[in-house]
Structure 1
Amino acid sequence: MHDLIVAPFLDDHYVLRPGSAKGMKIPAHRYLELRQLVTTGGEVPTWLCGPVLRQWSLDLTNTRAEAALLVRHPSPYGHGRASYELNLGCNYACKHCYLGLKEFAGLEWDQQEKLLYTLRDAGVIWLQLTGGEPTIDRHFAAVYSLAYELGMMIEVLTNGSRLHNPLLLDLFTTRRPYRLTLSVYGATQETYDGLTQRRGSWAHFMHGLTVAHKAGLPLELTVIVTEDNVHEAEAMHALGEQFGAVTREYSHMSPTIYGGAESLSSQATTYLRKRKPFTGCDAGHTSLHVDPHGMASVCKISRDHPISLVTEGIAGLARLGEIADRALGRQGGCAGCTLSKSCSTCMPLAALYRKASAPLNRYCQHTDTAGRR
């Protein structure tokens, strides 16, 4: 099993350590040197051993390069990041969920295996595994293991309910993700179980969080603030301090991926916060999203005109950049807006809000409290 990943990303080259969010940038000629060294044989060079020891306390002195390094080859497609939705199914029934109908459906393993090789060939280095709840998918361990072996840095988005499972714990400790991101839905049993609509979910979450923390896994908590749990927002953030984890916050409820409005009623309207202006993103150009059926799209929000990676393969990704550019163009009620430079909502998300007939003040930053533009 490799100790380090050596990979090109955009116009740069990096040395990465599985299980760590840190990385080192190296010059192009050093990348080519390591690539050649892995092929022809030899020890890890001294110019790399020193920085690796300082960065990760990893001593590679007198270590064969081919045993320690996994060198990723450049890809003409340049999609360095991807999110892969293994399944829309979940063991919770959260009121705010943006997925809408949570159907247990997806690819068979042989197709998933082909998909992961396609993502590797597309240049994907940072892979986010999500759902639904990805850890309940029957192929999760196989998908995770193969992605790791192909030289991907893995993040798992999870509700944490199964992190105490011995098989998963062994998987994560022997093939470490660079981040486990756990969603937090409350700070007490009553509130947490109420929002997830699953009795016992709080106990499973706390058990998983505790076990993962004791195992030294890299944790991050996403505090989900809704009408049901807004009174526990500070207490949810305090969980991060208690377990030594970074906390981030999500408080703007989105329509479902189908443009449904059912998730919007969970919005804590008194907790709406002003967001930074949207200035563009790399979605569709250097990153992409893949749904449970192997359909590649610009991102989790912009799913129009998907490309089947199962039938078209990697060649289909050549169209994704053009699809992204069209999706990000001003459209509908936003076309011609003179205040667009200070708008905080991207066009694909604004389109979902309009489809859900959401109040303007949920997504248009140029309205007053009455929802008038």
Structure 2
Amino acid sequence: MSSDNTFSKIIDYTKKHELPFFAHWEIISKCNLKCKHCFVDKTDNVYPSTEEALNIVKYLYSAGVFNVTLSGGEPLLHPGFSKIYTSLKDVGMRVTVFTNAVALSEETFKLFERLPPVGIEVSLYGVDEKTFFSLTSKKNVFDKLLRKLERLTKISRVLLKAPIMTENISYVDKFIQICDELNVRYQFAELIFPMLDGDKKNLDQRPPVGAVVEKEFSDFHTLNDWKERVAERGFSKEAYLRCSAGLNSIVINPDSSLSMCGMLRGFKFKFDSQDTFNTAISSLRNTRKEIENYYSKGSCHTCKYANLCVGCPALSFMENGTYTDCVS
């Protein structure tokens, strides 16, 4: 049996039995960019102390979590990042890092070379200095960033990610070219989300659906990904909340609370010990069941496009204030 097949079976088992296996850990709220499309609240600089974070590593380990994604904000801005990362690796965790890579230092490169992450996912906003500054308000970093990305490819698997926005849709082809030159995988975010605080001003960066579909499906790589996703889902209408949020996946917020997912912040459970951490995980399972009960009451239940839709209650709530209305 291949290692990939074994890992898939473990994922299926933990999801079926609601065992925490994945953790998306936002270790800091602060970011070093000011992206026009960002949906995260513009909050104060919130993060656990390094000591608190190292305790959280113990909670994760004791709870059985094996895969941890370090995110933010920008995770590299946490003053204890290297200690947190090293602690996770020391207990045998598979660690992925979500970053914009702007703050990557020589110290961090040496850390990753010594203890490589299983993957590094980099959000790339722009295709040159001018477009990068226009989207992020950060000057004179793009060329340096490309050199950092090239170096990262020698350390771990790199995935470059970009949202499709009103301002960048015209140069998506250039983004693909950069990825090909770096010989890295890439992924597009097809939808710009409203902000978590309810503000929708960033939606002026959401292009028409038809333009997104035309641009995405003109790329063979992306079209093939979509074919595989649809084939995997099949044609069942049991599509609502098809993700693993609250089953074998949890989110740790910068304020040391647990959520089902990074976009559904209305249900947060604080913790400060192993016992309260485990109780919070149980609360997430109950919350998911409550949200699933909305399924039979909304339009998702009878929608003929259910197998193609992400069926995401968090996105529906951000857009409409309900858990089951369509996102137009």
The bucket for the TM-score relative to the shorter chain is 0.7 to 0.9
State the alpha-carbon separation in 2 of the partners of residues 224 and 149 from structure 1: 34
State the alpha-carbon separation in 1 of the partners of residues 177 and 297 from structure 2: 40
Of 267-276 and 196-205, deviating more is 267-276
- The corresponding residue for 1:302 is 264
Tell me which amino acid in the other structure corresponds to 1:208: K
State the SS of the aligned residue for 2:302: coil
Structure richer in helix, relative to its length: 2
CA displacement 1:131-188 (0-9 Å, x = unmatched): 111112212111111111111101101111133x110001111111010001111112
For residue 73 of structure 2, the aligned residue among 129, 132, 136 is 132
CA displacement 1:324-361 (0-9 Å, x = unmatched): 122344379945763173443311210111149xxx98
Contact 2:23 2:250 in 1 (8 A): yes
CA displacement 1:242-271 (0-9 Å, x = unmatched): 111111111210112223212211112253
Pairing 1:291–2:230 present: no
- The corresponding residue for 1:80 is 21
For structure 2, the residue ranges without an aligned partner over 5 or more in a row are 11-16, 218-225, 234-238
State the SS of the aligned residue for 2:278: helix
CA displacement 1:275-327 (0-9 Å, x = unmatched): 86845122101111010011101111222221112252323212211111223
State the alpha-carbon separation in 1 of the partners of residues 119 and 300 from structure 2: 41
Pairing 1:190–2:152 present: no
State the alpha-carbon separation in 1 of the partners of residues 102 and 22 from structure 2: 26
State the SS of the aligned residue for 1:319: helix
Contact 2:99 2:121 in 1 (8 A): yes
State the SS of the aligned residue for 2:267: coil
Tell me which amino acid in the other structure corresponds to 2:279: A
Q: TM-score, normalised by structure 2?
A: 0.80
State the alpha-carbon separation in 2 of the partners of residues 305 and 156 from structure 1: 25
Number of matched residues?
Answer: 293
State the alpha-carbon separation in 2 of the partners of residues 330 and 77 from structure 1: 20
- The corresponding residue for 2:147 is 207
Larger Rg: 1
Contact 2:112 2:155 in 1 (8 A): no
Residues 332-371 of structure 1: pairs in structure 2 closer than 5 A = 334=298, 338-339=302-303, 341-342=306-307, 343-355=309-321, 363-364=327-328
State the alpha-carbon separation in 2 of the partners of residues 308 and 14 from structure 1: 39
State the SS of the aligned residue for 2:178: helix
Tell me which amino acid in the other structure corresponds to 2:125: Y
Pairing 1:237–2:237 present: no
State the alpha-carbon separation in 2 of the partners of residues 140 and 92 from structure 1: 18
State the alpha-carbon separation in 2 of the partners of residues 92 and 224 from structure 1: 15
**Residues 26 and 251 of structure 1: CA distance in aligned 2, closer, same or farther (over 3 Å):** closer
Q: TM-score, normalised by structure 1?
A: 0.71
**Residues 189 and 307 of structure 1: CA distance in aligned 2, closer, same or farther (over 3 Å):** same
- The corresponding residue for 2:277 is 313
State the alpha-carbon separation in 2 of the partners of residues 245 and 26 from structure 1: 23
Of 267-276 and 316-325, deviating more is 267-276
Pairing 1:246–2:185 present: yes
Contact 2:121 2:160 in 1 (8 A): yes
State the alpha-carbon separation in 1 of the partners of residues 58 and 319 from structure 2: 35
**Residues 26 and 253 of structure 1: CA distance in aligned 2, closer, same or farther (over 3 Å):** closer
Pairing 1:96–2:37 present: yes
State the alpha-carbon separation in 1 of the partners of residues 85 and 287 from structure 2: 29
For residue 116 of structure 1, the aligned residue among 37, 57, 60 is 57
- The corresponding residue for 2:223 is none
Contact 1:121 1:314 in 2 (8 A): no
Contact 1:328 1:346 in 2 (8 A): no
State the alpha-carbon separation in 1 of the partners of residues 277 and 295 from structure 2: 30
State the SS of the aligned residue for 1:344: coil
**Residues 351 and 27 of structure 1: CA distance in aligned 2, closer, same or farther (over 3 Å):** closer
- The corresponding residue for 1:51 is none
State the alpha-carbon separation in 2 of the partners of residues 27 and 182 from structure 1: 28
State the SS of the aligned residue for 1:114: helix
Contact 1:77 1:318 in 2 (8 A): no
- The corresponding residue for 1:155 is 96
Aligned CA RMSD, in angstroms, stands at: 3.0
Tell me which amino acid in the other structure corresponds to 2:111: L
Contact 1:302 1:327 in 2 (8 A): no
- The corresponding residue for 1:221 is 160
Q: Percent identity?
A: 18
